[in-house]
Chain A
């Protein structure tokens, strides 16, 4: 079983639509959680952290359910510029070298059309 699993999509949605992405992780000891955005042939960029209480940043809302080991991202009022791949990322915590190890999901592709 993959450590971080995501629906690969693609999700094809019209502008203005609301779209939700899901992610599950296998290690209950995971420390913290993030959503990254990756454009084609570019590096991933941090979109937002994910907290159990749920957090919102403009049109984006992230939610974490530790009991179910489930993370979600909701995008409201989709824009053409939201088209990208969204990566679910889990921080496994400090390793012996003192660094945090990140585990990346394979990503969910979103295509927003006019």
Chain B
């Protein structure tokens, strides 16, 4: 149980385009979803947290207009990287928690490369 999926697993795009990443909880209702970013040889950094039906809470230094987060249902959250630039190239990982547990279950990650 407690499986989280992400799609796509890998995406390559041109600079200036927008990319949408989906995070789904497959077998539980995710009341809270988290979006992290990890640059090579660095730690996971929390970008934002979203509760179903509410606006996301962004960490300091993360541009909310650039990283659009939607958590429209209890099983789906999306992260859209708008007007992507090469410096946005990174490993984006989501996680989710449900009503019954505080444990965060991680998705497999999405590797974004912006050319």
Contacts and interface: CB of A to CB of B under 8 A. Distances in A.
Interface of A: 4, 8, 41-46, 87, 95, 97-107
Contacts, number: 49
B74 to A, nearest CB: 15
B93 interface: yes
Contact of B32 (A8, A43, A98, A104): A98
A48 to B, nearest CB: 13
B68 interface: no
Contacts of A41: 91, 109, 111
Interface of B: 32, 34, 36, 41-46, 49, 51, 57, 91, 93, 97, 102-104, 106-109, 111
A96 B4 CA distance: 24
Contacts of B34: 99
A95 B102 CA distance: 12
A8 B46 contact: no
Nearest to B109: A43
B57 A43 contact: no
A8 B42 CA distance: 10
Nearest to B107: A43
A104 B47 CA distance: 13
B46 A106 contact: no
A99 B111 contact: no
Given A97-B51, A102-B104, A42 B43 contact: no
B41 A45 contact: no
B32 A97 contact: yes
Contact of B43 (A4, A98, A99): A4
A57 to B, nearest CB: 16
